Amino acid sequence: MVDKRPWEIHPALEPRRMNWLAKRIVEIASDVARARLPVKGETSWALGCRRYEWVRHRLYEDSKQIPWLTAVPLNDHGFDLKVGGVPIQYFHGDPDKPRNRHLLRGLEKSQGELFPPQAGDLPGEVWAYYLVLQTDEHGNGLDVVFFESSSRGRQRNSVSLPMKPATAVVSRLDSARKDATRVPSPGVRVKAPAAKKSHGDDTAGG
């Protein structure tokens, strides 16, 4: 079975939105990596905590100006992320070997009406959407992987973002507003083939 892209699964997850969100998360991760202070004793654990907090805070600030984006910080250090009202669980790690606690958080937020039954679904099976940040060994953002996972431990529709469809992807914040004029992207990030991905977990809830 061919993996479907997010916008082929749910109309709210349109290319412009998902590509912008993926690029934004990658940019934040790279900003955090540049701010790292190993000479001060900052470890990869501290880097992961800072990365999660920065993603949570910046997406919350972005959501004040972007109608389709919801990012609400929670008291337990988590945050509710939605695109066009559709809940998505974010975390940093390995999309091929996600941790159970991340999958459970996504399933807790899942809304059954967003997932009409499909051929092959098992009785009582619940599905949820996920965005997983992948970084290199220095913490620089590489890409974000979208996928679905179910309460039966099955995964489907794993797609790497940001994609480059016919629709131009713009990195400026105000381009994400509904009334913004679309312009060509000022540059395309090229994924370094030699970069080694780090799948360390962001401990602070991400």
Percent of the chain having pLDDT more than 90? 37
pLDDT tens profile 139-172? 888 889 999 998 888 899 999 997 554 333 333 4
Residue 94 lies in a domain: yes
Neighbours of 183 (CB within 10 A): 10
Looking at residue 144, its pLDDT comes to 94
pTM above 0.85, yes or no: no
Range of the domain at 111: 6-198
Residue 14 lies in a domain: yes
The closest alpha carbon to 81, from 129, 141, 15, 133, belongs to: 129
Farthest CA pair distance, the chain? 54
Residue 122 lies in a domain: yes
Residue 206 lies in a domain: no
Total domains in the fold of the chain: 1
Query: Which two three-digit tokens encode residue 171?
Result: 């990195």
DSSP state of 168: -
- Which of the residue ranges 97-111, 157-171, 177-191 has the most confident prediction, judged by mean pLDDT? 97-111
Residue 127 lies in a domain: yes
Comparing 24 with 181, which gets the higher pLDDT? 24
Three-class DSSP category at 29: helix
Q: How far is CA 67 from CA 94, 143, 172, in A?
A: 30, 24, 15
Looking at residue 160, its pLDDT comes to 93
pLDDT of residue 61 exceeding 90: yes
* Plot region of 205 (φ>0 → left; ψ -120 to 50 → alpha; else → beta): left
According to DSSP, the residues that pair with 29 across neighbouring strands are none
Residue 204 lies in a domain: no
Residue 174 lies in a domain: yes
